[in-house]
Amino acid sequence: MNDETELSECVECGGVTEPQKMTIDEWWGEELFLFEKVPVRVCRDCGEVYIAADVAKRLETEMQTKSHCYRQVSVPVVAYEEMAA
CA–CA distance, 20 with 59 (Å, rounded to integer): 17
70 occurs within a structural domain: yes
> What's the domain range around 53?
17-84
74 occurs within a structural domain: yes
User: What's the 3-state SS for the chain?
Assistant: CCCCCCCCECCCCCCEEEEEEEEEEEEECCEEEEEEEEEEEEECCCCCEECCHHHHHHHHHHHHHCCCCCCCCCCCCCCHHHHHC
What's residue 7's pLDDT?
63
40 occurs within a structural domain: yes
Q: Which residues contact 31 (CB under 8 A, 6 or more apart)?
A: 63
71 occurs within a structural domain: yes
50 occurs within a structural domain: yes
11 occurs within a structural domain: no
10 occurs within a structural domain: no
Residue by residue, pLDDT tens for the chain (85 residues) are 344 446 689 999 999 999 999 999 999 999 999 999 999 999 999 999 999 999 999 999 999 999 999 999 999 999 999 988 7
CATH of the domain at 26: 3.10.20
For the chain, how many structural domains are there in total? 1
8 occurs within a structural domain: no
Q: How many C-beta atoms lie closer than 10 Å to residue 56's C-beta?
A: 16
